[in-house]
Each structure stands twice: as structure tokens, then as C-alpha cells.
Amino acid sequence: MKISPARKAAFDVLLRVERDAAFSSALLPQFESQLNEKDRALCHELALGVLRRKLYLDAFIEQLSSGKRIDIEIRIALQLALFQLLFLDRVPAHSAINESVELAAHANKSSAKGFVNAVLRSFQRGQPKLIFEDAAGRISIESSHPLWLVDKWIADFGFETAVAICVANNKTPSLAFRPINYDEHLIERLKQTDGIRASDIVRNCFIAETFNSEVRRFADNGSIYFQDEGSQLVAQCVIDIAGRNVLDVCGAPGGKTSMIAKSTGAFVVAGDLHFSRVEGLRNTCRNQSANVQVIQLDATAGLPFNEKSFDTVLVDAPCSGTGTIRHNPEIRYSIRKTDIDELSGKQLLILENASDAVAGNGRLIYSTCSLEREENEEVGALFLQRNSEFSLELPPIERRFHTSEGFGRTFPHRDDMDGFFMAVFRRR
């Protein structure tokens, strides 16, 4: 039986994510560019659907296979079939099963075709009942989030909020984007296009529920840039308080940097650590005709600028990315509690090094796309304790995003955008 291009591409993406620790957000555009529109949509749904439900699917596989050790290629073939059987009513069961059997052969595992068929036919005859030790264990498996992360969110935010975050992370997010150039004619066309609405919190930001033909047309002609609403909110925060010059310390991939440069008259400098990221940052700015001076720098070792030389400094720090799980579902499986502890130390170091470049009465903006207090509130509090010449200001964003501690936060379950943290410090 021939394997559909969509299922084959989804399988290959999932295998790369598993084997190479690659990111689905980078792989999917590569594989989907070779597919027609119908197959592209199915590939996208299958790959991200499996990643969002991996632990749940694996729980069934463990029962159906009696805990037998399974090669990763065969596990992915089973995951793809089970996802379709459980969540895609429009896909015929025989197609899901038969093509996953053939995926075993595609992976040079023909000897496992009978095993794949037997497991899936067994599931079709009767879905096994999953048993959980407690409520947190149920949330972990049913929402496919590691138990340690579920426990942590329960401790940090409470049980109901933790559940809501997990549920939101498995929903297909809407598409947020902005016009690359401010063009009143384009803005008006976007406002009048069915399926597209203007953001009510970020200027010139638009939201589409699906990647329909109209959105694709705007994307193909290079008139829009996809960027989450929360990310744009951070950039707008910088724009609203930007001085004559702005430094973006951790600028890659360049979405915030280019937005700041395009929306202010400031002299903008941006950098990042690795050459590949610097090149990506430079390309993003070049493609948007954003006037940015791009350099390579190591912010953990100090910055190559005179002290107090920038009115505004943004530290969009490297972080765990747990606020972006709905867009990058594989993050939840790779991040560890020890990673969060290590990142918080690095974030504080970068923030303190960057603070040297802030001019008198200037602002230092700290942001992450993490939900974790260790990377956010705790870093901000430690910075203030150790740097008495800085004071905390409320971010210039809507009050609903302000926290009781004087910071800014967005949440995927509450705000229908990625989870971002913002802190604004003013040098006295």
C-alpha cells in the first residue's frame, strides 16, 4: 500500500525531532514546502498532534504491547495511527492503520509490520483503560506533560491554573502576525479580510484562526511577519519607552528587534552569542528593511560597549521556553528542573552585565518566554537586591497583565497567547 505524502512527511519530522533533538517549528516548513495544500495541512496536524499527545499515546502503546521494548521508528508509526484513531474522526480507521503498518517498511523495519498491525487492531477492538496514581498523574498523562512539570505548576499557580495551562498547551494556537511595513492600504485590507481580526492589545498586530488561503497570500508576497501576540507585546513595551538608542542583547531570531527598529526612530544595536543566530538575526532585519547594527557578543562575559551608553536595553534572555509549549510542544519533553536552575543563574548574569550599558534615567527591560518563577520574578528580585541604583517600574502594558509584584505576565490559558514575562528597571 502506498503511504500518503502527508503521513510520510509527518513521520520523518517526528523521527528527526526524536533522534536529532530538532525543532518541529524549523522542520515542518521544510517538509511542507514539498506538499500540496491538503497534504500540508494533514502533515502539520499529524506531527504537532502526536507531539502534543505523546505521553497519552505512549500510555496506550505500553499497555497494548505489554511493556515490550519498541524501536523509535515503530513507536512513531504507532503514535501516528493512534492519534488519528483517537482524535481525527474524518480519517478512516483502515487508512490510519494500514499506512502506519507501511511506515514500518518505510523505516526499514518490515519485520515489525505484523506487530504494528496487531497492536492497532487490538486497540480498535477495545480501547484500554488507563489507570492513574493520583490527580497530578492523570493530568500528566492525559495532557502529555511530564509529571515533574505538572507538580511544579500546581505548586506555583494552584491546581486549577496548572490544569488550564496544560489544556491550553494542547490547543492549536491562532496565528498572530504583523505587517512588515506600516501601509494604511494593507492595514485596511487585513481588517476587511474574513478570518482575520485586529489585536485589541498590540498595535498593528493581527490574528487569524487558521492558515487560510488569504493569510498564505499575504505571507507568500512577503507583506507580513508571523510573531506571537505576547512576543509583540514585549516589543511594544520597549517601543513605548525607547530612548534615542536601544540595545537588544539577545536579539535572535530578530522578531522583537526588527519590530522595535521599524516602529521607533531610535538607533538600534542587536547581538547574540552564536554565529548562526547572529546570521539569522541579520537576515530577519535585512528582510524587513529594519535598520539595525548587528554584532556577535557573549553577554555572559560582559558587553563591548562603554558604560551607560544606551537609553534603553532589552534583555530577552535565553530561557526554558515553557511559555511557548503550545507552539513548540516538544519542549516539554526535553526541559529538566535542573535546566531551569541553571538558566536562572545565567539570566541574572546577563541582566547584570547588560545593566552596565544603561544610561542614567534609562530603562532596562528583562523578558522571557518562560512561565517559571525561578526565571522571572526571582531573577528580578535578586537583580534589585544586588543593584540598588535600579528601581522597578510597571511595564507600560494593560493593567490586566500586571502582577501584584510589579511585573508583567501573559498566560496561554488566560490570554490566548504565549506565556511571557516582563520587568522594567529604571536607573536612578
355 vs 193, higher pLDDT: 355
Of 133, 220, 148, 137, which is closest to residue 177 (Cα–Cα)? Answer: 220
Select from 57, 64, 48 the least CA-distant residue to 144.
Answer: 57
**Residue 96, pLDDT above cutoff 70:** yes
Is residue 26 predicted with pLDDT exceeding 70?
yes
* Residue-level pLDDT at 1: 66
Closest CA to 420 of 365, 369, 347: 369
State pLDDT tens for residues 411-420: 999 999 999 9
Query: Cell numbers at residue 122, please?
Result: 487490538
pLDDT in tens, 397-408: 999 999 999 999
For residues 39-56, give the mean pLDDT: 97
> Stretch 277-295: mean pLDDT, rounded?
97
Q: What is the pTM of this model?
A: 0.95
Of 396, 326, 10, nearest to 176 by C-alpha is 326
352 pLDDT exceeds 90?
A: yes
Residues 386 and 274: their CA atoms lie apart, in Å, by 29
Q: Dihedral through CA 7, CA 8, CA 12, CA 14, nearest 10? A: 10
Cell 503514535, residue located: 79
**Mean pLDDT value of segment 7-27:** 96
Quickly state the pLDDT bin for 212 (edges 50, 70, 90).
confident
For residues 274 and 249, the answer to whether their CB atoms sit within 8 Å is no
Q: Give the pLDDT score at 213.
A: 82
Q: What percent of the chain has pLDDT over 70?
A: 100
Task: Please give the C-alpha separations between residue 95 and each of 45, 56, 103, 111, 340, in angstroms, as whole numbers.
Answer: 16, 21, 12, 20, 42
Pick the closest to residue 319 from 294, 299, 345, 282 (CA basis). Answer: 345
Grid coordinates given for 193: 479580510
Among this protein's residues, is 319 annotated catalytic?
no
**What's the average model confidence in pLDDT over 103-126?**
95
- pLDDT at position 2: 87
CB 150 within 8 A of CB 133: no
- The whole-number average pLDDT for the span 51-80 is 96
